[in-house]
Structure 1
């Protein structure tokens, strides 16, 4: 038993330390994802150490100390996404309906044929903006049903799992489709007018993940996130970025995105809102995200029911309240962050100038 528990401790240490490397291989970057699951396993290991090992042995206390450190390290990353942490985005106070915007983000899964369930959720929750990821021509034909109420649309149907559609009740004054890093992975830009007349810059993104079936490294995904971040920091308008980032909220790359962009994460202090995988409750992570500038406060953010996709939809309601911007702040970059962001985009030869901006 001592040998088994010692081997388990060595494995836990490896799984904890490997993500500290900036190596972009999918195996290493994938270890950013299951921090909650690893935390639970480490807690079980600690209990087993305490129950089955000789408490008079120095080796026992060494194993306990190592496992405790690993547990604390895993929890350090995920605790901000619980109610134990202070909220990064202030709760919205009663405001004008004209200053509010509701966004639904839904990765539909191209092979999913349960479009009716998604359409029913759109009719029930009445989002101002709906973005679908992985939507091909079949999905576009089905989503024609929402265009009666959401007459503004930007459509990019693809059959490679990276199609994207945006539907809006609010006027879209400008829009563009850009392939920022990879030739077959689009992003959508839109300038949207709130009912109050305020203009909002929105970016919808879905970078390819690091995986054995996609990109063997995270370089492409990281570059897309960073180049968008470097673009929106120079903003004259309030900004919202949403989509399936194929990255967890607490990874070093997503944290770098937040630092460089200056955008806020409304989940901080509220919850993880795990949107993937819809079919396996024990293996879920927050892959679908929404970030926004300090101009907004949060009415609510919630995960909607499954509709046949491997992702749950995410529904977020924001209120434009620039007077409260001084009450809100995210995380600031240091010199190392700035240098790292430059290295990431230079390695993929991408530029923030390629990211569409409001005219």
Structure 2
């Protein structure tokens, strides 16, 4: 009789073009919204206030973009990164439709690249994942790549086939939620007066505040997103006996900290690229800073887009790479994204 349990996929189990339908669909409620705001100091008004969202033309407040991202991401973990050494990065992420309380999300992925590492013990797998709602509408699409253990280190390596990924989502491809309009935007209630025109390309912003990452909150977040990656919840899975903090936890914490200086960057429209530059463990005090990389108009004259670099660090603001171009050891996250902001 065959075993009924699943040890997860190893590098040899992936093939270019392979399609994976992920279990289990999940209906999102207002409870997840409250838990997200309890885990992170998230205060952006559009996702916090029903009446604020309705005043901005939306029928209902959208759930935080990263809450949606984590939920879809969590669906993929048993099939993509259960045996991962690390989640390495993201690209070509597009938020296509708002998700509201009561929506049901599921996920599907396609393997778009594979490459064995030089050690021969692991390989890198690239997947494009889509998140779909109960109407089979795509709400989110993104690419990520992970380093996965091999089951058999002497197994032959597949032909290396890394994908060709765009450096950024073109501004003209950004999706505006249906009905969104910032004409009557209330800056007092949002928390800051800064509009799209107040930001300059090349400007850097120190978000000032810091948060010490706690084991309990990280474990709650990992379970909330149903993320089953062993390195996050099993302390025996690493030689140092530490649980690796889920990279999405770092992203959400940094995004929440960015409220101080970017309170009006209400929605994430796209993730152009992202790198988890260093591992994060409980006890780490995380700080964040941003750089304005680009600006763009949108078809709605009340809405602008800012392309932002969000950096999570344990060190000083505005320090990113050394003279050799490598990330400084204190840098945890380098995230490049488009945000929608009133003009």
Normalised-by-shorter TM-score class: under 0.3
TM-score by length of structure 1 reads 0.23
TM-score by length of structure 2 reads 0.24
Q: Which structure would you say has the larger Rg?
A: 1
Normalized per residue, which structure has more helix?
Answer: 1
Normalized per residue, which structure has more strand?
Answer: 2
